[in-house]
Amino acid sequence: MTFFVFLQLIIRIMKQTELITNQDGSVFHLHLLPGDIADHIIIVGDPGRVDMIAGLLDKVRVRKSNREFSTVTGSYHDMEITIISSGIGTDNIDIVINELDALANIDLGTGIVAEEPRSLSLIRLGTAGGLQEDLPVGSFIATAKAVGFDGVLHFYEGYEWCLDHMLADALASHLEWPDTLAYPYVVDADATLMEKVAAGMRRGITISSPGFYGPQGRTLRLQPFDSDLNENITSFRFRGERITNYEMESSAIYGLAKLMDHKALTICVVIGNRVTGEFLADYNPAIMSLAQQVLDALSS
């Protein structure tokens, strides 16, 4: 083997570890092929919620799953739609958004990026914890701005342009944010999707937390680093805006979508109010009502 051939082999091995595919040519985690996804994609956390929402479709042509990633693609009123589960957290979102983009914009065999990138519309339908007293359980909140406590976007180059630095700095100052944690980042929702899909809904600032317990101020056997975190978040105001809810995925969806020129929007059902202590035990009817509303808006 010549040195040139050896060098080419090393380069190919490196490329294969960057964009990993399965034996059938599908992308590594999602187990999907490029033709399996539509331009409109609904992202949910729970894999069981995929089939639940898919029951609203007129026809299903793709049904695949691997680990926590379940996917259904079909049609609703002549519109192609994909419904995919991400599991919980921005670490999973890093996988889902990158692999969806690869399916849309990279030749999985050669690794060559498309000359004219395809833009996807990514709509997360989730559940959230309300952080204001006047947000009853069962209400819908559209995320106008997503605040990332997770740090995922900091691992990518060239993201500064898509951030709301003034809001992030004001919040960090208000919360006396410790240097031991990733600095908060803030990304806006896609304005076009917001107007088309979330017309008439309440809008607010959403915090994407890197955990469910301590990172959201919950106390079981361990104490959170700041026992006043939620009260301080609730009292925060910036140019008349307030933080409305916690969830765990939107910051990475918004940030990665901006960097890859996709559109992103999150709408959540409030299933628990952290101020009043109210909790909605059976929230599936609310999720289905929201899904129906979103599908109708997208297909109109």
Point out which residues pair with 85 in neighbouring strands.
Answer: 44
H-run or E-run covering 100: helix 90-105
Residue 17: band (very low, low, confident or very high) from pLDDT cuts 50, 70, 90: confident
Q: Does 255 score more than 60 pLDDT? A: yes
Q: Which two tokens stand for residue 45?
A: 């956390």
Q: In the structure, what pLDDT confidence band is assigned to residue 14 with cuts at 50, 70 and 90?
A: very low
Structure confidence at residue 153 as a pLDDT band (50, 70, 90): very high
What percent of the chain is predicted at pLDDT more than 70?
95
pLDDT, tens digit, 9 for 90 and up, residues 158-192? 999 999 999 999 999 999 999 999 999 999 999 99
- pLDDT for position 205: 98
pLDDT in tens, 28-74: 999 999 999 999 999 999 999 999 999 999 999 999 999 999 999 99
- pTM for the model stands at 0.94
The rounded distance, in Å, linking the Cα atoms of 270 and 64 is: 29
Go through the domains of the chain in sequence order and give each one's CATH number: 21-299 (3.40.50.1580)
101, 145, 232, 241, 300 from 205: Cα distances, Å: 26, 5, 14, 7, 27
Question: Is residue 36 a contact partner of residue 255, using CB atoms and an 8 Å limit?
Answer: no
Other CB atoms within a 10 A radius of the CB of residue 279 amount to: 12
Residue 182: its pLDDT value, please? 96
- pLDDT of 99 reads 98
The pair of structure tokens assigned to 69 is 């990633």
* Cα–Cα separations (whole angstroms), residue 211 to 21, 88, 90, 141, 256: 30, 9, 10, 20, 20
| Model pLDDT for residues 117-140, shown as the tens digit of each residue | 999 999 999 999 999 999 999 999
* Averaged pLDDT for residues 147-157: 97
pLDDT of residue 189: 98
Q: What is the mean pLDDT of the chain?
A: 95
